[in-house]
Amino acid sequence: MSETRTDNAPLAGIRVIELARILAGPWAGQLLADLGADVIKIEHPEGGDDTRRWGPPFVEGADGENLSAAYYHSTNRGKRSITLDIASPEGAETARQLISTADIVLENFKVGGLKKYGLDYESLKATNPRLVYCSITGFGQTGPYAPRAGYDFIIQAMTGMMSITGEPGREPQKAGVAISDIFTGLYSVIAIQAALRHAEKTGQGQMIDMALFDTQAGILGNQNLNYLVSGVAPVQMGNAHMNIAPYEVFPASDGHVIIAVGNDGQFQRFCKLLGAAKLGADPEFQTNPSRVAHRVRLRAEIIAEMASWTKADMLSACDANAVPAGPINNIEEMFADPQIIARGLRMDLTDQAGTEIPSVRAPILLPASPLHYDRPSPRLGEHTEEVLAELKTIKSKGPST
């Protein structure tokens, strides 16, 4: 159904119509594009995706043209952009025709927001029964909060994420990136691929109901079970870990490092490299549960032992003794890290005008069916004529048999 991309890409031949903006939906669309799908992003003619204006910084073309904000480019790689006003009868009809040729629809309108345009799942499945329709909202299609708009910041607050983030006694903190949006995008791709498999087997698509609220609640992982088992709600612990010790940030003589001891053997090796035999022999520190129970004294003892160590010496000693440890990099330092360079996480993609736009590859390596990085994020409406010409050709051929 789609524009042909690399034949051995995992989702080559799959067409996606993206009626989504900001982050969660476009993040899912970008990963589907990386996996080889033909993702057609429908944008409003006046301004397009909101994130095109969410700057500075902005990407600048060779002629000084504003090519949209860095935020937009972080989540729209590999797509084709067309402009349609779906609020108009003509625009809505064109969107419906495009969807009739597609395998997947991605949308993040408010619950019921697309029904008035005939772009809801019930309206579309009549002409495309195999359609996988993924709706991403703040709170899902059901429940008392379903009509509300969803914002990552508020979702992090409501689900308890902020109650366990930050220093004890200080203002609750959100994560430094919109994790409920990003994780919802990832879970959406997982759900979409499962629904595609179902459609292959049965010939029937389905509507996927994805909610930022559900996702953020679900990804609290061990902290959810800490509460459900103990009945005690976890609280802010700064950089410390509720279930493991020592597993936090420690000061060296010239800065800070992370020491992340995960088992008793690692703890004994850590004490040995510190030259702190007494610490390793202390009955209160022999097992992880005991170390957690006595974490305040343990931290004080480790700080005293590390006072004369430099960051570099400590990290080198930990590496040589198989004790998990690491530096605290800023993002500039992260991109300069030799492991990041060796793994090729940073990419520069060249657009149709020769402008190089930086990007970060998806963290997936599939040797037999590699992901597909053939173009950066599109200019607003860059592919409108191309896509509509394809649609006209498809319509002229009539229904496939």
Specify the DSSP element, H or E, that contains 258: strand 255-260
* Distance of alpha carbon 186 from alpha carbon 318, whole angstroms: 34
The pairing of strands 15-19 and 38-43 is: parallel
* Distance of alpha carbon 345 from alpha carbon 212, whole angstroms: 27
Q: How far is CA 186 from CA 6, 110, 167, 209, in A?
A: 22, 20, 29, 14
Specify the DSSP element, H or E, that contains 201: helix 179-202
* Distance of alpha carbon 390 from alpha carbon 388, whole angstroms: 5
313 catalytic, yes or no? no
Instruction: Give the DSSP per-residue string, 44-76.
Output: -TTT-SGGGGS-SSEEE-TTS-EEEEHHHHTS-
Angle at 399 between CA 397 and CA 400, to 5 degrees: 90
Instruction: Give the DSSP per-residue string, 379-395.
Output: PTTTTHHHHHHHHHHHH
Total length of the chain: 401
**Annotated catalytic residue, options 103, 152, 181, 209:** 181
Q: Are 161 and 216 in contact (CB under 8 A)?
A: yes
- The single residue listed with the structure tokens 């064109």 is 94
Positions marked active-site: 181
